[in-house]
Structure 1
Amino acid sequence: MKFFIAIALFALCALAQAQEQQTCQVDVQSACGSIGSGEVRNCNARYGAIGHLEHKMQDYIQLQLKKSYEYLLLATHFNSYQMNRPGFQKLYQGLSDRAFDDTIALIKQVTRRGGAVDFSKPHDKGVANPPEVHLNELESLARALDNEKELTLGAIHVHTSATHGTTASREHDPEMAHYLQENFLSKQSASVRKLSGYANDLSKLVSVREPSLSVYLFDEFLQKQ
């Protein structure tokens, strides 16, 4: 008899534990019951470490949007009749478009995981203070390289948080880490390598006494990329 009582108690405990874990099911049962509240707050797409990654992702989204704006200003600067550097304009327009597309992709990733992105709140990653863009060709490449490294470090920061979790809970998020690895870290590494090569090549070309022809030919090279 004691054996059957113990089995029954174990089954009841397991059922109660399952109900606690299936919070969406509990919400639905409550909402659809005879005195249901109509609320199913736990029926969402949030899981893993989205709770502590959400604000970090928003920071990175704001950074991507800021860099897209900066690259657009650089592209406009080199597209003017004074500068007339279509190769540099093409390079920076491409970087601006890529950063903007990455912004949209990151927003979709956050909302797919049940998070939200709020652009109404002021943020230190915003675009309130536009950067100085009246730079020469080599200075602009140096600025672009610094920007790409900043974007890379931003992705690494979120990836590290997704991999190692918070100090208190050690909760991690493999799906978010994989998403950043596949879509951002490899791409950013290639971009840093390309721009660092451009900056070093152009620095050698402008070291001659009359660098105008060298800069013109380098711009021609950029147009073909």
Structure 2
Amino acid sequence: MKLLISLFLALSCLISISSADGLKCTLKPADIPSTWIDMVDPCVKVMENQVKIEIEAAMTYLAMGAHFARDSVNRPGFVKLFIEAASEEREHAVKVIEYLLMRGQLTSDVSKLLKFPLRPIREDWGNGVEALSEALNLETQVTKSIQEIIRICETPKTSSFNDYHLVDYLTGDFLDEQYKGQRDLAGKISTLGKMMSTHGPLGEFLFDKKLLNGEL
């Protein structure tokens, strides 16, 4: 049955080839009712902007990983931490895109979400405490952005529509992870700061080994 459907679609494409424009499949788009699409415009816009915020956070974490991977720095534990953080932020961006698609948005051009060039916040850090503090500030900004989306989508100024599904999704999936991540970074900053105040650069070296071995 699947083979017959595939052959039918291929035949439809061949029939619709235009000699002037080259090989093109011009199947007529399906006539889908739009009544099921109910996201209000302010909510859509802040969700689209969240994709950019998540990607910029991912790029900053990649820059952190690259910094600590330099031969002059050589902190593989920090590299592991920040590369994993970059992957998580990228996954968050994908989840936002998938949610918008589920709600009937972004059906024409997903590329409009990102305007290049995108750059990390910075590319050099003096030590581990400085980088972890930057990471905590970054996560706090992302959290505030998600909180703002919740406020806008719960009570949009231009509509009485309460997008309770999106609010619940962001509160349960995103904010829970954000708060846990912020607490984890705050704890790491505290531990590393104490180790460095007691042992100096050796403290950061030992902390890095614990990161690499998954002990922190």
State TM-score, norm by structure 1: 0.74
CA distance in 1, matches of 2:113, 2:165: 27
2:98 maps to 1:84: no
CA distance in 1, matches of 2:130, 2:213: 21
Q: What RMSD, in angstroms, separates the aligned Cα atoms of the two structures?
A: 2.2
What's the counterpart of residue 119 of structure 1? 111
2:144 maps to 1:144: no
- Count of matched residue positions in the alignment of Structure 1 and Structure 2: 183
Aligned sequence identity (%): 22
What's the counterpart of residue 214 of structure 1? 203
8 Å CA contact 1:75, 1:88 repeated in 2: yes
- Structure 1's 39 and 220: CA in aligned 2 closer, same or farther, altered over 3 A? closer
What's the counterpart of residue 97 of structure 1? 87
- Structure 1's 122 and 223: CA in aligned 2 closer, same or farther, altered over 3 A? closer
- Structure 1's 121 and 192: CA in aligned 2 closer, same or farther, altered over 3 A? closer
Provide the secondary structure at the position in 1 that maps to 2:161. coil
Deviation at 1:51, TM superposition (A): 2.8
From 46, 49, 63, the counterpart of 2:37? 46
Q: Give 4+ residue runs of structure 1 displaced > 3 Å after superposition.
A: 38-45, 117-123, 126-130
Q: Which has the larger radius of gyration?
A: 1
- Structure 1's 103 and 87: CA in aligned 2 closer, same or farther, altered over 3 A? same
What's the counterpart of residue 204 of structure 1? 194
CA distance in 1, matches of 2:86, 2:114: 22
Segments of 5+ residues of structure 1 without an aligned counterpart are 1-37
State TM-score, norm by structure 2: 0.77
2:216 maps to 1:224: no
